[in-house]
Amino acid sequence: MIIKKIKIVFLLALMCVPVYAQNAVKKTPVENDAEISTSTFKWRNLSGHLPSEENLIFDVYWQFIKVGQGTLEIRGFENVNNRIAYHLYSQAKSSVFFDNFFKVRDINQSWLDAESLCSLRYSADISEGGWKKREQVDFDHANKKFVLNDNGSVREGDTVLWVQDVISALYFFRTLDLEVGKEYIFDAHSGDKSWPLKTKVTGKETVETKAGKFDCLILEPAIRDNAGIFQAKGRLQVWVTNDHKKMPVKMKTKIPVGSIIAELAEYNNMPGRNLQGKDDAGKTN
């Protein structure tokens, strides 16, 4: 029984890198307008300071035992349905020792519209123990529809305008101006379901990891039952740098058999760039 619980906890730990911060985005007036027609549809134009390339590496611990590693990457820009998009990439991998008990090799990818900062496409290639899963979701924002290919089974459905997937939401959140004490809401999508999720900024704290010492804001996402990788019990927290980067530094969840912590071990990023090809200093690339 304990081994089974550790396996469940281990999966939660490996997935927490892309999950925790995805619950916090204030809706704009456009997002609250559910009656935008296809004929009058216009892509929103949001400003942000995401780097064009970035690599974040996290060590994942159960109690004080390292059980795996996770990465978050921005791999430049790609064209998706004639839209310029950030290519976001996340990988979760169990350590060699834990491979003997429960081998995890998960890859999640997202394509975030560079102008409107919403998800255009999400894909997952999951290998956990003996279970494997492949899926891809494409979003049609003009018609508020999605197309899901789940292990070869294709189905369509309704979603909401400017929806985020489990990867893109974190990066969308990083473009916001955050204030302690405020709550942020955005619409998320996983599988064939969309729903509003909430995150509150609860305080500030200095965090030290292998990657250095960082002044951080503390975020606490709401927990939802029956929501795929969002499903959990207990308290979830994520620390992001208290600057324009909002870089995730640490994630933590308490569970019946201890605590799971993911800490930033290494990072490498490039200056943020906008669609005109200018970096944060205003220089043309």
The pLDDT value recorded for residue 24 is: 35
The pLDDT value recorded for residue 111 is: 98
Q: Are strands 145-150 and 131-140 parallel, antiparallel or unpaired?
A: antiparallel
DSSP labels, the chain = -HHHHHHHHHHHHHHHHHHGGGG--PPPTTTT-TT--GGG----------BSEEEEEEEEEETTEEEEEEEEEEEEEEEETTEEEEEEEEEEEE-HHHHTT--BEEEEEEEEETTT--EEEEEEEEEETTEEEEEEEEEETTTTEEEEEETTEEEEEE--TT-B-TTHHHHHHTTS---TT-EEEEEEEETTEEEEEEEEEEEEEEEEETTEEEEEEEEEE---SSSGGG---S-EEEEEESSTT--EEEEEEEETTEEEEEEEEEEEE--BB-TTSBBTTS-B-
In-domain check, residue 284: no
In-domain check, residue 283: no
CB 160 within 8 Å of CB 187: yes
Q: Taking residues 170-186, report their average pLDDT.
A: 91
Q: How far apart are CA 117 and CA 114, in angstroms?
A: 6
Smallest CA-to-CA distance from 175 within 245, 122, 120, 114 is with: 245
pLDDT in tens, 238-278: 899 999 999 999 988 876 777 888 999 999 975 544 443 33
Q: How far apart are CA 62 and CA 7, in angstroms?
A: 11
Query: Which segment of 49-63, 108-122, 271-285 scores lowest on mean pLDDT?
Result: 271-285
The pLDDT value recorded for residue 256 is: 72
In-domain check, residue 169: yes
Look at residue 36 and tell me whether its pLDDT is greater than 60: no
Query: Which segment of 15-24, 110-119, 222-231 scores lowest on mean pLDDT?
Result: 15-24
In-domain check, residue 274: no
The pLDDT value recorded for residue 206 is: 98
Number of domains the chain contains:
1
pLDDT in tens, 187-230: 989 899 888 878 899 999 999 999 999 999 999 887 654 443 33
pLDDT in tens, 64-111: 889 999 999 999 999 999 999 999 999 989 999 888 888 889 999 999
In-domain check, residue 273: no
Look at residue 25 and tell me whether its pLDDT is greater than 60: no
The pLDDT value recorded for residue 98 is: 87
Look at residue 185 and tell me whether its pLDDT is greater than 50: yes
The pLDDT value recorded for residue 48 is: 76
Reported as a pLDDT band with limits 50, 70 and 90, residue 151 is very high
pLDDT in tens, 117-145: 999 999 999 998 888 999 999 999 999 99
In-domain check, residue 278: no
In-domain check, residue 89: yes
Reported as a pLDDT band with limits 50, 70 and 90, residue 39 is low
In-domain check, residue 276: no
Q: How far apart are CA 123 and CA 234, in angstroms?
A: 28
Q: How far apart are CA 264 and CA 251, in angstroms?
A: 9
The pLDDT value recorded for residue 38 is: 56
Q: Taking residues 29-45, report their average pLDDT.
A: 62
Q: Which domain holds residue 118?
A: 2-268
